[in-house]
Structure 1
Amino acid sequence: MRKPLILLLIALAVTGSSILIFLHCIQTVSHDEFDEEPVIDTSSAKPPLTNDDWALQTNETVETPEKFDVSLEATLVPVVTWYPDIGESLYGEWLRGNDDLPYFNFSYTIYVTNHGKKIAYNVSIVVTDRDVAVFNETKNLGPSYMYIKTVKGYAMRYDNSHGLYLHVQCHENIPEIVTAFRYFNVPWIRINPTIRPTLVKLYITPQNPTVQNVLRLAENTSDWRSVIQWVDSTITYEKHREWHLGHETLESGTGDALDKALLICSLLRGMSWDPEDVYVAWSKTNEGQAAWVVFRKLPNVEWLKVGFTNGLVIETFQNIELAQGEADILFNDIEFKNLPSSS
């Protein structure tokens, strides 16, 4: 009985040792296999999806943002000045041009604003006068930035009121052109301009090419009689309410006493008469107005009065006071004189 029991214990001991040896071998093999990083075969694997691939696979549109986010606004306004001598605000002043005609010289200000959040590069700012560029600049405008530029010394002829266009375009990212328009009404006065001495003097135009051409065609430009008779015979008398410059009277071929007086004064000033020796005399009457020419008969000291109200009338006086009569003002292209009231 004791012998079988001993044999059983020996068998169990041998079996346990075998199990321990087996477990130890398993642990050793497992440690050796995973001691290094595993090698993964990627020869057949696809690269990971990018954002664009993901967008395409999910049928979403990939939006590319604009290069610039700008919004332009353009304005063109005249510069207004207060003139104390006339008690009025004007956006310019009257000057005599190279053709001896009146020009309204004014300034205007350009405003261009970028209301966007990004810089507007290469913004072209162009002002055109009847399709002709008269101002041109290119600027970069930052976000919420206002470009301000005052252009001085722009002139329009007295009879040529018109508008200026402002064209603004950002060539980098805005195909359309932003425009602004400003109409400039030239404030030339044709009815009773005597309240403006500057305007009245501009009605005498001795150096105007049309006036000078008459002197070249006259038979004897040193003889005041030939000039006056030529005007009287060439210009048909026609009553006008408005004032006209000499070249306008010559071009129309008609004029009243005032128109002829303005023309003759221009012609005599274009000859050898100094501004102290020839004037247009003007007065306000119950019928409207009256005008005539007074000038010194060179080389004498006598003064002549030439009127056209009832045909050509030439009178001689010993001094200018008698020749000017009841005139309210005397003027030419250089001088303007207010005369004391005769009443």
Structure 2
Amino acid sequence: MATRNFRPDSVLGEGGFGSVFKGWIDENSSAATKPGTGIIIAVKRLKQDGFQGHREWLAEVNYLGQFYHPNLVKLIGYCLEDEHRLLVYEFMPRGSLENHLFRRGSYFQPLSWTLRLKVALGAAKGLAFLHSTETKVIYRDFKTSNILLDSNYNAKLSDFGLAKDGPTGDKSHVSTRVMGTYGYAAPEYLATGHLSAMSDVYSFGVVLLEMLSSRRAIDKNRPSGEQKLVEWAKPYLANKRKVFRVLDNRLEGQFSMEGAFKAAALALRCLSIDPKFRPNMNEVVTTLQLLMESNDSDGNQNKTNGMPRRRRQSTDDANGGRSKTAYPRPSASPLYA
């Protein structure tokens, strides 16, 4: 009833798992309401594809059902009736980070440097919460399409279908089948199936690099030496004079050279081949907080590459005050079919 019987015109997104529909419910009773009244929800309707689909549905309910954190998407409810499986989430009006970074069009303005820092910090806080001593969960599918944004660009992690309990006792990792998304998975996890919190830190490094460059982790449309973002960008990240080759040139004039280099250095540390040299997520949060504070205190006085700052339109300005909603496809694509 909330989605008007899963009407095609209420589809927000589709993917390997099934479809996501927009619906409306009463905030207090959770009863279905007329479109435009009550609160908006996103209803994920899973394809009936047997055990794997059920296992991911169950993981989602088990993790999101017991956790509450401002940087995790809120699970409002679920349904298991015969072969039907539904998940009901809070609606995230600005869609996924993936859309904001990679969607192109003359009407669409890129995310500002300040908003990118804000989103990175929110997503880092979500991961730090999952990795904390009390929670001890490895997310395992950290990528731009799983980072959703509310109306104020607060980042929330979604899709816990691949999440896994972290190691217990004196163990350093859990051994598991390699799952996740190609381009984001840590090298040691790909090679051995050994999963640890540091695997998520590597994935965070990949996403941070995507945010700095507005390039996808894997992009077959680029020249052969530039298709794998990490391989291409790494040589430039540690060099103050070359780091600008990696940065999205649409951000020109929005950051200080020092700030840009510190963000690049953080990405490089997260992408260390040896997990021992990666920072933990609490360190990442601290670094990003300091970056945001120094960015604010710069008071927009700095110039990059000698270029004066230009005021950028916000996304809403560019859309004539309307925000384009594009709900992501939270999906788990196995690396090896």
State the TM bucket, normalised to the shorter chain: under 0.3
Greater share of residues in strand: 1
* Higher alpha-carbon Rg: 1
TM-score by length of 2: 0.25
